[in-house]
Amino acid sequence: MSNVLRLAIVDPDDTQRESLKSMLLGMDMIWLEAECSRYEFFGDVVSQTTPDIGLVCIDADPEKGLQLVGQLGETSPNCAVLVVSSSNDGNLILQALRSGAKEFLTQPVRLEDLLGALGRISERRFGRGENRPRGSQLIAVAGATGGVGTTSLAVNLGCDLAADEGNSVALVDLDLCLGDADVFLDTIPDYTLVDVAQNVTRLDFTLLKRSLTKHASGLYLLPRPVQLEDVALITAEDLQRVIGLLKATFTHVVLDLSKAYSPIDMLALEMANHVLLVTQLDLPCLRNIVRMMVSFEAIDGLKDKVKIVVNRAGLDNGQITQKKAEETIGKEIFWQLPNDYRTMVEVRNNGVPLLEQAPKAAITQSVQALAQALCGDETATLPLAESGKTSVLSRLFSFGAHK
């Protein structure tokens, strides 16, 4: 990621420093530039390494620690100082802030608080809005009805994104009762979403990564709970935390939603940067999309984030045309994935992604191009549905939907 914050840490207490380090090391947004066990040397370390953040733990000697904070403000004004202390005494906090600290965190540092502080520092450093370098991308994959191809797309999109060495990608199976992302990836995970959700406040990044199952493609999977009874243990609040943690750890997080449109699914839709709504070109699906779009209006910005993905395009069963579908749902179709039942059944039954099973197949290339259009060079590929034009992809795959 381009908006990585470089950080240097000083703490004379080795145990405490190690535990903070392990929290920081798993974060994609953090690059640990230097560590130091003596307050006296830290000024020089910061001058030489010019980190974005100087993390000063003052417990070992609060007086010396605060003196260092003041000194850093003078010698390295571009370094944002974050003070950590086990005391939450108001006077001490005030002193730290007056000495020039930008943030103050109390020990034991909670991951959420650390993320909040780093987020604020990052915002000050990189700014917000248009020019801000990209952070983690959260992609929710939802479906217009059961069996429409949501999981097939979520899994293969995740694997395609993970194939790029610059990315780190997690897939979360939010079909909490019947999800089958683990089958698609032929894995038997040790932990599930319920374990992570219940321990989210205690998890550090190393533990988080260990709780996920890493697939040969590089994709990390967080599967649905094993027992149906456990589903009720996952609240929307837990999920919000889990997603926050995943976003700080991975460059891309793909969410495979259920068709229940439960509070969990709705939260995922709300938090996502992109929502892929998978459909087929038949009446029941299109009618559901129309209904969903009406309900989505209640959530700020959601309707605009939705991208319609037609799956099994070209399936010869009296499909509705693309034009008619767009008129019906009042939205452009963003992408069309060709129908290829044999390949799709093979990938599911063999538990291998499209990239491995059928790298040259049109369906594989179409999912790859979709990943690229979503998260890569956006100028590289245009959406299919520009009215009146025949796009490169539709010509390539002769979907027949432009009739």
Ligand X SMILES: Nc1ncnc2c1ncn2[C@@H]1O[C@H](COP(=O)(O)OP(=O)(O)O)[C@@H](O)[C@H]1O
Pairing of strands 213-214, 220-222: antiparallel
Question: 344 is in the binding site of which of ligand X, Mg ion, none (Cβ under 5 to 8 A by kind)?
Answer: ligand X
Q: Which lies closer to ligand X via its Cβ, residue 45 or residue 344?
A: 344
Q: Which lies closer to ligand X via its Cβ, residue 108 or residue 359?
A: 359
Task: Give the integer Cα–Cα distance in Å for 30 and 6.
Answer: 6
Least distance in angstroms from the C-beta of 145 to ligand X? 8
Q: Which lies closer to Mg ion via its Cβ, residue 145 or residue 235?
A: 145
Least distance in angstroms from the C-beta of 272 to Mg ion? 17
Which residues touch 93 (CB under 8 Å, ≥6 apart)? 104
Q: How many CB atoms lie within 10 A of CB 343?
A: 17
Q: Tell me which residue has its CB nearest to Mg ion.
A: 151
Strand, helix or coil at 106?
strand
Least distance in angstroms from the C-beta of 282 to ligand X? 13
DSSP 307-373: EEEEEEET-SS-PPPHHHHHHHHTS-EEEEEE--HHHHHHHHHHT--HHHH-TTSHHHHHHHHHHHH
Q: Which stretch binds Mg ion (CB under 5 A): 145-153, 209-217, 272-280, 346-354?
A: 145-153
Count the residues of the shown chain that bind Mg ion, applying the rule CB under 5 A: 2
Q: Which lies closer to Mg ion via its Cβ, residue 173 or residue 195?
A: 173
Q: Which of residues 52-111 bind Mg ion (CB under 5 A)?
A: none
CB contact at 8 A, 150 and 256: yes
Q: Which stretch binds Mg ion (CB under 5 A): 148-156, 210-218, 322-330, 340-348?
A: 148-156
Residues that bind ligand X (CB under 6 A): 143, 146-152, 311-312, 337, 339-341, 344-345, 348, 363
Q: Which stretch binds Mg ion (CB under 5 A): 87-95, 149-157, 161-169, 296-304?
A: 149-157
Least distance in angstroms from the C-beta of 94 to ligand X? 54
Least distance in angstroms from the C-beta of 148 to Mg ion? 9
Nearest-CA neighbor of 336 among 359, 287, 289, 369? 369
Task: Please state whether 27 falls in left (phi above 0), alpha (psi between -120 and 50) or beta.
Answer: beta
Tokens 């926050």 -> residue: 244
**Distance from the first to the final alpha carbon of the chain:** 42
Question: 209 is in the binding site of which of Mg ion, ligand X, none (Cβ under 5 to 8 A by kind)?
Answer: none
Least distance in angstroms from the C-beta of 171 to Mg ion? 12
Q: Which of residues 225-244 bind Mg ion (CB under 5 A)?
A: none
Q: Which lies closer to Mg ion via its Cβ, residue 151 or residue 251?
A: 151
Question: 394 is in the binding site of which of ligand X, Mg ion, none (Cβ under 5 to 8 A by kind)?
Answer: none
Q: Is 171 exposed, middle or buried (0-12, 13-18, 19+ CB in 10 A)?
A: buried
Pairing of strands 213-214, 103-106: unpaired
Least distance in angstroms from the C-beta of 400 to Mg ion? 26
Task: Give the integer Cα–Cα distance in Å for 78 and 56.
Answer: 15
Task: Give the integer Cα–Cα distance in Å for 274 and 304.
Answer: 9
Least distance in angstroms from the C-beta of 256 to ligand X? 7
Residue 279 binds Mg ion, judged by CB under 5 A:
no
99 CA to centre of own chain: 36
Residue 311 binds Mg ion, judged by CB under 5 A:
no
Residue at 139: amino acid letter? I
Q: Which lies closer to ligand X via its Cβ, residue 99 or residue 150?
A: 150
Least distance in angstroms from the C-beta of 154 to Mg ion? 8
Q: Which lies closer to ligand X via its Cβ, residue 84 or residue 181?
A: 181
Q: Which lies closer to ligand X via its Cβ, residue 192 or residue 279?
A: 279
Task: Give the integer Cα–Cα distance in Å for 68 and 257.
Answer: 49
280 CA to centre of own chain: 26
Residue 258 binds Mg ion, judged by CB under 5 A:
no
Q: Which lies closer to ligand X via its Cβ, residue 41 or residue 341?
A: 341
Q: Which of 95, 151, 211, 249 binds Mg ion (CB under 5 A)?
A: 151
Catalog residues that contact Mg ion under the rule CB under 5 A. 150-151
